[in-house]
Amino acid sequence: MKNHENCHYLLESLSDFVDGELRQELCTEIERHLANCDNCRIVVDTLRKTVSLYHTASAELTPVPDDVRERLYKRLELDDFLK
């Protein structure tokens, strides 16, 4: 990666790129670069995978533990709404 000047320039944009939030011309430029740079392609793939793993892990929202919920409702003087 160190031998590619373009790689440095594109690194800052990769996060937007994986979100699909990059303007078209820069997107095309990155895609063209990725076709010829295996290292950058691996960085993009593993970056995308990293973000996707966090999204998957956070999709399941653990409920507040019962005791914490109970104390919260009491503190807010809403314990008559505790189900």
Partner 1 sequence: MNDGKNQNELSLEALQAGDRGEFARLVEAYSAQIYRLALKMLNNPQDAEDILQETFIKAFRHIKGFNGRSAISTWLYRIATNEALMHLRRKRPDQVSIDEPVETPEGEMEPVQIVDWCCLPEEELMSSEGRELLDKAAEALPESLKIVFLLRDIEGLSTQEVGDVLNLSETAVKTRLSRARMRLREELSGYYTERMEKQSNEKS
Residues in contact with partner 1 by the rule CB under 8 A = 1-2, 8, 11-12, 14-16, 21, 39, 42-43, 45-47, 49-51, 53-58, 61-64, 68-69, 71-73, 75-76, 78, 81
Nearest distance from residue 47's CB to partner 1, in Å?
5
Nearest distance from residue 42's CB to partner 1, in Å?
5
Burial 43-82 (b: 16+ CB within 10 A, else e): bbeeeeeeeeeeeeeeeeeeeeeeeeeeeeeeeeeeeeee
